[in-house]
Chain A
């Protein structure tokens, strides 16, 4: 069935919403990456089986929804009963029968599966009342957890494609651009360039062909917002792209998805096919005469392809090396034609900007960084997960109110934002509002939204070394400052971590960093020294401890630490088979011995010891 007009789309929305609401209870099972790895698939299968067996009266199998990432990955697998919002955490396959019998059959709540608030030890029934969710505001992630992840039916029922309908029928392309400019939205991929201005530039250039490309090459390690959106709500990305295409006058678009996200490709492919089948993508969209096609382009594992000109070469089947951008890609991009390249999260916000209006969006956040931003909150934090907050929220609010503080009550050390191009910020910067400009001033950057929290057992010198080794691997090698400069930076960092560093190393690193920033061709190089620059700025004492005292205060750098078995050892034998180098010997019931000459400091014994008998010195 083709949707021929906007009126028909509105009718469908009403009909589909009615169908969704006709279920007295809906079971939303989170199929996000975290929950899937913990058995969400088996839980879903079990639900279908049990419901079939029990022959529940008021419950249809269609009311089971496989949703995208609900966000609270730490507590997964998650099962949410809507519309009430009852939130079951750490659900196991064996719990399913009880949920069906009690909660679906008799509307009873199963207390043991509810979230316990660590502040007062009380159970919380609805997810909206849990601090992790209560402090968030969701725009880009609005449908995650709310709709079946690849269902066009559910997307339309949730008001999907209404932004597009409004753009196509009530606005001319110029007005769409004005609306996006009014919203003040800036690119969510990290650059923070004004989206409306980018579209306006592209639309003004004389050309027979223009392209719209979605950057789904979420290469920053520690970030998975875009993965969650592409997998959990693919239609919103497509809708944003179609609106953009109408605004700039494009007929062909590409979604570039990184190789490590195979499920995102599957879901986007299904969404494109479903949208094509009803005429939301393809020729004569919604009977308005506007046509636009979308194809998926798969990456093949290269971080540098997140850079605009490298990405466009990769889409065209070339080696993904960036070019000098005297002419911007919005003027001369894919196949040398004017191209709008926006990030997944940016496109996901566009439908809301159109349907709710640019002005409403601009009122959220701060005057210069409007709207909300999604973050993946990971590392040594209590509530790991996917979040979205208004711009201007402070790091402290994010880490403590939403994130629940540092794991196991340990002291906070640093928070890393902006991926390999970003930096580490210390405790004294926690009250900074999170927006594009403030983080850059503090020596880090917003980046695409990875937020990695570190405790006192994380060595920042090791973190800098880690990012530099990442960048050395991923440097495409085209320009010398990046290829050779980052390599030398990394060598110095390795020396320091091995206890062989000297004061000269720091000086050389500082000097090299300045050169790399000035001389590199693309963003990978110009921001490459940031991991070093931000850590030396805030954690110089830790570098000095490595160099002068030959000590790693966090107990991470293997060359500078020793493992010691203390007399707390109960002689349980657990660490002996765990040791790959046979360095530990001992008898049951007697304190074990560790031969330092054999020990390669892998930490296996430390990980398996249940009695805290092994110490790091």
Chain B
């Protein structure tokens, strides 16, 4: 995939190329490209003066980072306890069946990414599904089709 990497120096400068800012730099890169492209990781290693192996280990350790491109529409199912006992498992199953992908995967046409998150702290409205940053509360399996289509 071709990306415009001209924004990277600005991100590195934002944190004075400080090695301790590695996580923050990777977060900003992910914000920009929606995932962590390989070239960007190499540039990060060079500019922050940290070994590429460390950049790789940090970007695979934390759940927030993705090393593969993500879809246009990102559907996140909250799997917190409150959501779990109010049916998040059934929701996940329904999304997986309807989208034909498993949680953590992106559809081949790069339209959808399905993710599960541990708890988004909106337990009062469980179960919660977040479609492109918009929270949907008290979701049940009959809403899944609509959420996929319109979000």
Contact = CB atoms under 8 A, between A and B. Distances in A.
Given A223-B121, A300-B63, A301-B63, A604 B137 contact: no
A152 B21 CA distance: 29
Given A300-B26, A320-B61, A261 B121 contact: yes
B67 interface: no
B142 A302 contact: no
A220 B80 CA distance: 8
Contacts of A73: 124-125
B81 A298 contact: no
Size bin of chain B's contact surface: 35 or more
B121 A260 contact: yes
A300 B62 CA distance: 5
A616 interface: no
Interface string A145-185: 00000000000000000000000000000000000000000
A164 B75 CA distance: 44
Contact of A416 (B64, B81, B86): B81
A457 to B, nearest CB: 9
Contacts of B84: 221, 463, 466
Contacts of B23: 297-298, 300, 314, 317
A37 B81 contact: no
A302 B20 CA distance: 18
Nearest to A304: B61
A450 B57 CA distance: 31
A541 to B, nearest CB: 20
B65 interface: yes
Interface string A65-86: 0000000011010000000000
Contact of A378 (B19, B24, B126, B135): B126
B119 interface: yes
Contacts of B121: 33, 218, 223-224, 227, 260-261
B38 interface: no
B119 A260 contact: yes
Contact of B85 (A36, A37, A380): A380
Contacts of B20: 316-317
Contacts, number: 167
B96 to A, nearest CB: 9
Nearest to A262: B133
A330 B147 CA distance: 47
A581 interface: yes
A351 B94 CA distance: 48
A34 interface: yes
Nearest to B97: A580
A470 B118 contact: yes
Nearest to B141: A604
B57 A319 contact: yes
Contact of B61 (A302, A376, A608): A302
A603 B94 CA distance: 9
A221 B118 contact: yes
Contact of A604 (B61, B65, B94, B135): B94
A33 B145 CA distance: 24
A450 to B, nearest CB: 7
B118 A303 contact: yes
Interface in A595-616: 600, 602-604, 607-608
Interface in A245-293: 259-261
Contacts of A301: 62-65, 117-118
B77 interface: no
Given A379-B81, A603-B90, A74 B22 contact: no
A499 interface: no
Contacts of A384: 123-125
A224 B123 contact: yes
Max chain B Cβ within 10 angstroms of own Cβ: one of A37, A297, A314, A476: A37
Contacts of A333: none
Interface string B10-51: 000000000111111011000000000000000000000000
B93 A602 contact: yes
Interface string A568-608: 00000000011011000000000000000000101110011
A554 to B, nearest CB: 10
A370 interface: no
B124 to A, nearest CB: 3
Contacts of B82: 221-222, 378-379, 452
B124 A223 contact: no
A574 B142 CA distance: 10
A222 B141 contact: no
A210 B119 CA distance: 32
B98 A580 contact: yes
A222 B83 CA distance: 8
Contacts of A318: 22, 58
A297 B119 CA distance: 19
Contacts of B83: 221
Given A73-B125, A300-B64, A37 B137 contact: yes
A38 B137 contact: yes
Given A221-B80, A380-B85, A580 B94 contact: yes
Interface string A307-321: 000000010111110
A329 interface: no
A7 B74 CA distance: 52
A458 B85 contact: yes
B120 interface: yes
Nearest to B140: A607
A76 B118 CA distance: 24
A371 interface: no
A583 to B, nearest CB: 12
Contacts of A581: 97
B52 to A, nearest CB: 14
Interface in A355-388: 376, 378-380, 384-386
B20 to A, nearest CB: 4
A299 B81 CA distance: 21
B27 A300 contact: yes
A416 to B, nearest CB: 7
A219 interface: yes
B66 to A, nearest CB: 11
A556 to B, nearest CB: 9
Interface string B109-136: 0000000011111111110100000011
Enumerate the 7 nearest inter-chain pairs by beta-carbon distance, A residue then B residue, closest first: A73-B124, A301-B63, A300-B62, A224-B121, A222-B81, A221-B80, A221-B119
14 contacts: A37-B122, A37-B128, A221-B80, A224-B121, A260-B118, A261-B121, A300-B23, A301-B117, A316-B20, A317-B21, A384-B125, A419-B81, A604-B90, A607-B87
Given A37-B135, A259-B62, A378-B81, 17 more contacts: A33-B120, A38-B125, A73-B124, A220-B119, A221-B83, A222-B123, A227-B121, A259-B27, A300-B23, A301-B65, A301-B118, A302-B62, A317-B21, A317-B58, A476-B61, A600-B93, A604-B90
